[in-house]
Amino acid sequence: MIDESKIAGGNMDEFDNVIARHEAQLDHYAVPMHLRETALRKILAQDYSTPWTKQDGEVVAAEAMEPLETIWVIDHVWLFQSAKDAAEQLEARKALRDDMSAIIDHFSPDAPKTTPEIVDWIVVNLVHCAYSIKFGHTASDVYHYVLSGLGSMLKCGKDVSEINIQVVPLFFMDTGKLVSLMWATKSIQAGDKLVRPHATKISLIQLGKQAYWENRYEEEDEFDWYCSYEHMKALVKRHVKLSDAILLAGTGSSTLPVDMERDGYDLALWASFDQPS
């Protein structure tokens, strides 16, 4: 464990060790070199101050920011591993239900009244605010986290032209705490909407305990279908555009080609393995 008194006393060797322990993560998430010391010192000081506010339902800058000028640490309100785990934690912890209700109300107003209904309402709406992180190499190593307060409400953008901040997770090994780091990537004026890059969130498939299928879809170049298109089409629509060319191989008697064509996938080509070459 870290000796914080040595760092407070200005022991740079001790702090260099802290940086070294987190170097692989910092490199992986491309945290700017000149901001790393500031980030780790803020984590140690539990400095979670952030330059944002909420305006007209959007998270906006509370002050001007310049690209790569400074870095902020965002606290997390929750870490859970599955929909079942999430529900159990919510049922047992009223403070967590209250914190999450304040966040979920941003995405789905009018919270229900009873505890069971509130738990279900929160779990169903985690698709809007729970990000995924993998601590190992198996499905059981996947966890999901929710940023505190307005951090959970930041807009995610896929259009590079609108993205103006970067947000990445960091597991601070010395205290066993997961936080996120944020820095500006463009000049931002007070009142500008803050938009982070798209990041992997928990999905309806995962909440429905079908993470196996999504893992295979995302990790394999070829994907074997063992369920009906009806069960998978929401996932397909998130990853495949209607204009994409798709090859469906070995369809046999499957109705998949017809089902996808009805959904607007006009460039879906198919071939059965029993067809002559």
Neighbours of 122 (CB within 10 A): 26
Q: What is the pTM of this model?
A: 0.71
More confident residue, 192 or 200: 192
Q: In the prediction, which pLDDT does 139 show? A: 61
Token pair listed for 133: 């992180």
Which has the closest alpha carbon to 127: 168, 92, 86? 86
Question: In the numeric block, which tokens belong to residue 162?
Answer: 């609108």
HSE-up of 71 (CA within 13 Å, CB side)? 24
The DSSP-derived string for 30-79 is T--GGGHHHHHHHHHTT----SEEEETTEEEESS-B-TTS--EEE-EEEE
Q: Average pLDDT of 66-75? A: 98
The C-alpha atoms of residue 111 and residue 101 are separated, in whole angstroms, by 7
Give the span between the Cα atoms of 219 and 207, in whole angstroms: 19
The model's confidence at residue 274, banded by pLDDT at 50, 70 and 90, is: very low
Nearest to 268 by CA among 200, 249, 218: 249
CATH 3.40.220.10 fits 48-205, yes or no: no
- pLDDT interval class at 191 (50, 70, 90): very high
pLDDT category, 251, cuts 50, 70, 90?
low
Structure confidence at residue 240 as a pLDDT band (50, 70, 90): confident
With contact defined as beta carbons under 8 Å apart, do 240 and 249 qualify?
Answer: no
Band (pLDDT 50/70/90 cuts) for residue 12 is low
Which candidate, 127, 82, 88, places its Cα nearest to that of 104?
A: 127
Band of pLDDT at residue 208, cut at 50, 70 and 90? low
Range(s) for CATH 2.170.270.10 in the chain? 48-205
Q: What is the pLDDT of residues 143-163, one digit of tens each?
A: 999 999 999 999 999 889 999
Is the per-residue pLDDT at 62 higher than 50? yes
